[in-house]
Amino acid sequence: MNSNKPHILVTNDDGIRAPGLLALKDACAEIADVTVLAPSHNWSASGHVKTMHKPLRVDRVTLADGTEALSTTGAPSDAVALALLGVVERDIDFVVSGINRGANLGHDVTYSGTVTAAMEAAISNVPAMAVSLNTREQADFEPAARFAASLAEQTLERGLPDGILLNVNVPHLPADAIKGVCVTRMGLRIYRDELLKRVDPRGKPYYWIGGPEPTGIEDEGTDIWAVANGYISVTPIHLDLTAHDLLETLADWKLGMP
C-alpha cells in the first residue's frame, strides 16, 4: 500500500463495526490509500481521552466488505494517537473521523468522540476532519461519505493551518435534496438533560443522565441553522480556546498576589 497517493487514517467513535465507518473508508479509498484504526466498541460522547492507566491493545480485524482494518481497546482519540505514534508505520497525511450516527453541532464537539479524534490529530499538526450525519436511525451514509472524500481531497491540496480541524455535519437527506454547503460558526445547543434516579436490587440509588435529544438555536450562519435548513455544514475549529475578547478586560482587573 505504498503508492504516491496520500495516506488517510479513517477512525470513528461508533466502533469498528459501524456502517458509517465503512462508507467513509470506501469513499476515501477513491482518492487516497486508507488505513482504518478504530475503537472496538461504541465510544459516543466519550470526549477527548488519553488512556494512561491501562495498556491499549490493537487487533487485526476483517471488515464486513472483507478488507483489513485495525481495532483498538482505546478511545477514538487514543486510536489517532496510536496511529500517529507508530502503530501505523506509514506517515499519515490526513485523519477523517466518522461518519458518526448523529450530528455534532455547537457544544456537542466537547462531548463528541468523533470530533475529539480529529482534535487529537490537530494537536499533532496533522490535518483532520470529523464527519457526522444528522440522524439516529438506520441511514444511507453514501452522500455524506462522497462529500467527505471530496472535501478531504481539496483539503489535502490546499492544506490547513496547524491546530485547525474541520467539523462537518450532513443533513439526513437524499443527495439531490441537499441544498448546498455552508461554511459556518458553532451554534448554541440547547440540552434537555434530565436526571433519572433508580434503585438497584440492593436498595441503593443510581442515576442516568437522560432526557430528549438536544435542540438548538437556529441562528443564520451557524452549524445548527445550516443542517436544519438542508445544507451541509463545514465549521473550522481551532484548539486555541482562549477568550481573546476578554484578555484586555481581565488585564484591567490588576490581578496580583494578595
Q: Is 13 an interacting residue with respect to Mn ion (CB under 5 A)?
A: yes
Q: Binding to Mn ion by residue 104, rule CB under 5 A? A: no
Q: What is the number of H-type helices and E-type strands within the chain?
A: 7, 13
> CA–CA separation, 133 vs 7, rounded Å?
24
Q: Are 94 and 155 in contact (CB under 8 A)?
A: yes
Residue 118, amino acid: A
| Binders in 16-55 for Mn ion, by CB under 5 A | 44
What single-letter amino acid sits at 228?
A
Give whichever of 160 and 233 is closer to Mn ion, judged by the CB atom: 233
Among 8, 9, 10, 14, binds Mn ion (CB under 5 A): 14
Give every CB contact of residue 63 below 8 A, 6+ residues apart in sequence: 16, 22, 25, 36, 69
CB of 199 to Mn ion, least distance (A): 30
Nearest CB to Mn ion, comparing residues 21 and 160 = 21
Whole-number minimum distance, CB 76 to Mn ion, in Å? 9
* Stretch touching Mn ion by CB under 5 A, among 12-20, 69-77, 136-144, 182-190: 12-20
One character per residue 63-102, x = contact with Mn ion (rule: CB under 5 A): -------------------------------------x--
Q: Does 108 bind Mn ion (CB under 5 A)?
A: no
Q: How many angstroms from the chain centroid is the CA of residue 200? A: 35
Residue 147: half-sphere exposure toward Cβ, Cα within 13 Å: 29
Total binding residues for Mn ion by CB under 5 A?
4
Q: How many CA atoms lie within 13 Å of 138's alpha carbon, on the beta-carbon side?
A: 0
Comparing CB distances to Mn ion, the nearer of 99 and 232 is 99
Furthest CA-CA distance within the chain: 66
Nearest distance from C-beta of residue 114 to Mn ion, angstroms: 6
The residues that touch Mn ion, with contacts defined as CB under 5 A, are: 13-14, 44, 100
